[in-house]
Amino acid sequence: MFKNKSVTMKDVAHDAGVSVMTVSRALQKDTSIREETRLKIDLSVKKLGYVMNKMAGGLSSKRSDFVALLVPSLNNSHLATSVRVITDKCREQGLQVLLGLTDYSMEREEELVRAMLSRRPEAFILTVDGHSEATIKLLKASQIPVIEMWELPANPIHHVVGFSNYAAMGELIAVMKQKGAKNIAYIGESHYVNTRGGERRRAYLDHVSPHIIVDNSTPPITFEDGARAFREIMTRYPETDCVMCVSDPPAFGALMEAQRMGINVPERVRITGFGDFEISRASTPSITTVAVNPQDIGRETGIILTEAIKAARLGLTYPAQRIDLTPEILLRNTA
Partner DNA sequence: TTGTACGCGTTATCAG
Partner DNA sequence: CTGATAACGCGTACAA
Interface ranges with DNA (CB under 7 A): 5-6, 8-10, 18-22, 24-25, 27-28, 32-34, 36-38, 52-53, 56-57, 59-63
CB-facing half-sphere around the CA of 169: CA atoms within 13 A: 28
Of 118 and 235, which has the nearer Cβ to its own copies?
Answer: 118
Of 111 and 241, which has the nearer Cβ to its own copies?
Answer: 111
Residue 29 CB burial class (10 angstroms; 0-12, 13-18, ≥19): exposed
Using CB under 8 A as the binding rule, whether residue 143 contacts its own copies is answered as yes
Residues between 299 and 328 with contacts to its own copies, criterion CB under 8 A: 315-317
Using CB under 8 A as the binding rule, whether residue 180 contacts its own copies is answered as no
The minimum distance between CB 206 and its own copies, in angstroms, equals: 31
Beta-bridge partners for 71: 101
Of 43 and 205, which has the nearer Cβ to DNA?
Answer: 43
Answer with the entry of DNA, its own copies, none that 153 interacts with (C-beta below 5 to 8 A by kind).
none
CA 1 to centroid of chain Cα atoms: 43
Instruction: Look at residues 324, 330, 332, 228 and name the one whose alpha carbon lies nearest to residue 275.
Output: 330
Give yes or no for a contact between 73 and 220, defined as CB atoms under 8 angstroms apart: yes
Binding mask 281-300 for its own copies (x = CB under 8 A): xxxx----------------
DSSP H or E segment with residue 327: none
Whole-angstrom Cα distance, residue 110 to residue 116? 10
Q: Where are the alpha helices (DSSP H) in 208-317?
A: 223-236, 248-261, 278-282, 294-313
Binding mask 46-65 for its own copies (x = CB under 8 A): ---x-xxxxxx-xx----x-
The residues, ordered by sequence, that sit 6+ positions from 282 with a Cβ below 8 Å of its Cβ are none
Answer with the entry of its own copies, DNA, none that 18 interacts with (C-beta below 5 to 8 A by kind).
DNA
Of 125 and 309, which has the nearer Cβ to DNA?
Answer: 309
- Look at residue 286 and give its three-state secondary structure: coil
Q: What residues make contact with its own copies under the rule CB under 8 A?
A: 1-4, 49, 51-56, 58-59, 64, 73-75, 77, 80-81, 83-84, 87-88, 91, 94, 96-101, 112, 114-120, 141-143, 222-224, 227, 252-253, 256, 259-260, 278-279, 281-284, 315-317
